[in-house]
């Protein structure tokens, strides 16, 4: 895909994080800008990472009783505005269709900013009795929100790929369990597949999903010290079931309003992968979600070409048979040095170099993307070595990211220290909060940091609110965020 002249990343991650990020996205072939400002095209390599994420989640959703379905992208304005608070939250960024061909359509149609209202108008028809519950539906689609702020591929774009789950339950408790089960599926994906540690907990009322009773979240910390919200799972209570009349006839032969949840993750997760694991050479992908786990580069002069390529192809088949996503780069029009740079930029976790001398010695050389370490392997042990190295890379990416998160979580004693940390080094800042919106708002205005998450784990709660000094009700994590 890249042309011969395609240069490597020339921005340094620690000097100009934003420019470095953009270069990784474009040069590793993950995405490209679309003709309309704020929109991106997901290129095949980026899409393959999205497919890894999608397939993992899809399997988990199905195992836990969810089914996929499809809703139109167009939502009538009257429907979108049925839950007032929800509508007010989304309306400034809604794209509106007003014409079909040359004809003005009657009521204008919103491009799906999220599907609660449309889904629930339909669910109301499907649910009549307790026998129809729970209803657990997921949609893999894209959402559209006109972004006024500066856009950033994967992190903030006017259209994004995501999944949105919507469930309906007979009881509040069952909805509560669903919210937490989904959050746990997300945590497992993000931690054990994307190798990104996160803090889980509640959003403050000021930051929760518009229309939710409460929102739970997973917050990650990027290499530049800014937080990223990586997924949310909402308890909607009966806030939607009442206006949308989602009612069921119970075993008690009485009508009840149902309890609901909604939840989603998006291609933001690809942004997190870049910003947590990437380095000056480009992307570093965790083996579990890497479209190519091992790339094999034959190194040869013309006279050895056939011998070396045949052996490289043999290794490729051997790895593939063992279930490893391997790729032999046999292109003649590029030098091996050029190939090394390209596959490093694309973050392939392991490379095998194979040349005539390796073949003579019955060996091959592995090169780890994360540590650049070189490892010799006997030909007979290739699959074993590959599997061990992949597992090791997966683990070591997570533990490195976890160490970074811990090192960059501060606990200031005073508001002046708090401000200086946010200004000087960023990261997560754990502080006490009195639970008054006023303090939350003031801190945000002063420092640009907001409450990212109120952790479930509350055992280290500071005694006083970091802003007003009154008794603290909760330990919360502040940060500047994407």
The residues of the shown chain that bind its own copies, judged by CB under 8 A, are 1, 3-4, 32, 34-36, 39-44, 46-48, 50-51, 67-76, 79, 91-102, 108-109, 111, 118, 121-122, 125-126, 128-129, 131-132, 135, 137, 142, 144, 146, 158-159, 161, 331, 333
Q: How far is the CB of 162 from its own copies (least distance, A)?
A: 12
Distance (Å, whole) CA 75 – CA 126:
19
Q: How far is the CB of 128 from its own copies (least distance, A)?
A: 5
Q: How far is the CB of 150 from its own copies (least distance, A)?
A: 16
Whether residue 125 contacts residue 244, with contact meaning beta carbons closer than 8 Å, is answered with no
Q: Which is nearer to its own copies, 118 or 476 (CB)?
A: 118
Chain-centroid distance, C-alpha 241: 29
Q: Which is nearer to its own copies, 331 or 372 (CB)?
A: 331
Q: Which is nearer to its own copies, 150 or 463 (CB)?
A: 150
Distance (Å, whole) CA 153 – CA 268:
9
DSSP-derived letter for residue 169 is E
The values of phi and psi at residue 432, to 5°, are: -80, 150
Distance (Å, whole) CA 379 – CA 358:
9
Whether residue 77 contacts residue 97, with contact meaning beta carbons closer than 8 Å, is answered with no
Whether residue 45 contacts residue 345, with contact meaning beta carbons closer than 8 Å, is answered with no
Q: How far is the CB of 337 from its own copies (least distance, A)?
A: 17
Using alpha carbons, select from 6, 26, 24, 45 the residue that is nearest to residue 280.
24
Q: Which is nearer to its own copies, 47 or 478 (CB)?
A: 47
Q: How far is the CB of 481 from its own copies (least distance, A)?
A: 23
Q: Which is nearer to its own copies, 70 or 445 (CB)?
A: 70
Q: Which is nearer to its own copies, 249 or 468 (CB)?
A: 249
Q: How far is the CB of 88 from its own copies (least distance, A)?
A: 12
Distance (Å, whole) CA 55 – CA 479:
32
Q: How far is the CB of 5 from its own copies (least distance, A)?
A: 8
Q: Is 52 helix (H, G, I), strand (E, B) or coil?
A: helix
Rg (CA), the chain: 25
Q: How far is the CB of 216 from its own copies (least distance, A)?
A: 25
Q: Which is nearer to its own copies, 131 or 459 (CB)?
A: 131
Distance (Å, whole) CA 21 – CA 25:
6
Q: Which is nearer to its own copies, 118 or 451 (CB)?
A: 118
Distance (Å, whole) CA 209 – CA 263:
10
Q: How far is the CB of 121 from its own copies (least distance, A)?
A: 6
Q: How far is the CB of 2 from its own copies (least distance, A)?
A: 8
H or E segment to which residue 351 belongs: strand 350-354
Q: Which is nearer to its own copies, 91 or 396 (CB)?
A: 91
Instruction: Kindly give, in sequence order, each residue whose CB lies less than 8 Å from that of residue 195, ignoring residues fewer than 6 positions away.
Output: 276, 277, 286, 288, 394, 397, 398, 401
Q: Which is nearer to its own copies, 129 or 406 (CB)?
A: 129
Q: How far is the CB of 126 from its own copies (least distance, A)?
A: 6
Q: Is 60 helix (H, G, I), strand (E, B) or coil?
A: helix
- Tell me the CB-side half-sphere exposure of residue 94, using CA atoms within 13 A: 25
Q: Is 3 helix (H, G, I), strand (E, B) or coil?
A: coil
Q: How far is the CB of 92 from its own copies (least distance, A)?
A: 4
Q: Which is nearer to its own copies, 93 or 457 (CB)?
A: 93
Output the CA–CA distances (angstroms, integers) from residue 263 to 184, 215, 248, 327, 351, in the order listed.
12, 9, 22, 36, 37
236's tokens: 């909607």
Long-range own/partner contacts, residues 457-464 (CB < 8 A, 24 or more apart): 457/201, 460/411, 460/430, 461/432, 462/411, 462/430, 462/431, 462/432, 463/432, 464/432
Q: Which is nearer to its own copies, 73 or 210 (CB)?
A: 73
């Amino acid at each position: 895909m890249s042309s011969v002249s395609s240069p490597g990343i020339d921005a340094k991650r620690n000097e100009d994080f934003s420019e470095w990020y953009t270069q990784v996205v474009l040069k590793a072939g993950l995405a490209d800008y679309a003709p309309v400002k704020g929109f991106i095209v997901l290129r095949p390599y980026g899409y393959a990472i999205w497919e890894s994420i999608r397939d993992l989640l899809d399997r988990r959703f199905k195992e836990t009783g969810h089914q996929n379905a499809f809703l139109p992208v167009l939502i009538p304005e009257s429907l979108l505005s049925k839950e007032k608070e929800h509508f007010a939250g989304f309306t400034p960024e809604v794209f509106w269709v007003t014409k079909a061909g040359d004809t003005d359509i009657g009521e204008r149609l919103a491009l799906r900013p999220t599907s609660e209202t449309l889904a629930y108008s339909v669910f109301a028809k499907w649910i009549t009795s307790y026998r129809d519950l729970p209803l657990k539906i997921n949609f893999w689609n894209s959402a559209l929100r006109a972004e006024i702020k500066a856009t950033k591929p994967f992190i903030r774009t006017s259209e994004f790929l995501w999944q949105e789950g919507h469930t309906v339950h007979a009881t509040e408790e069952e909805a509560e369990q669903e919210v937490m089960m989904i959050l746990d599926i997300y945590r497992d994906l993000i931690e054990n597949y994307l190798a990104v540690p996160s803090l889980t907990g509640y959003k403050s009322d000021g930051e929760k999903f518009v229309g939710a009773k409460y929102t739970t979240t997973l917050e990650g910390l990027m290499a530049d010290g800014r937080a990223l919200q990586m997924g949310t799972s909402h308890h909607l209570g009966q806030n939607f079931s009442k206006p949308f009349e989602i009612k069921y006839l119970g075993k008690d032969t009485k009508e009840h309003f149902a309890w609901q949840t909604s939840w989603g993750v998006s291609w933001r997760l690809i942004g997190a992968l870049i910003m947590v694991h990437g380095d000056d050479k480009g992307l570093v992908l965790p083996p579990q979600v890497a479209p190519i786990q091992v790339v094999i580069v034959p190194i040869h002069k013309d006279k050895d070409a056939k011998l070396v390529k045949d052996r490289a192809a043999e290794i490729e088949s051997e790895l593939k048979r063992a279930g490893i996503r391997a790729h032999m780069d046999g292109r003649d029009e590029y030098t091996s040095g050029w190939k090394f740079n390209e596959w490093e930029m694309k973050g392939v976790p392991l490379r095998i170099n194979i040349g005539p001398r390796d073949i003579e010695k019955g060996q091959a050389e592995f090169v780890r993307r994360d540590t650049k370490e070189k490892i010799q392997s006997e030909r007979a042990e290739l699959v074993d070595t590959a599997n061990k190295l992949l597992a090791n890379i997966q683990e070591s990416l997570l533990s490195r990211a976890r160490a970074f998160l811990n090192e960059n979580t501060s606990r200031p004693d005073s508001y002046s220290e708090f401000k200086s940390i946010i200004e000087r080094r960023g990261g997560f800042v754990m502080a006490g909060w009195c639970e008054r919106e006023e303090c939350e708002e003031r801190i945000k205005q002063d420092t640009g940091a907001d409450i990212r998450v109120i952790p479930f784990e509350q055992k280290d709660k500071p005694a006083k609110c970091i802003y007003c000094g009154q008794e603290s009700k909760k330990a919360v994590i502040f940060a500047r965020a994407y």
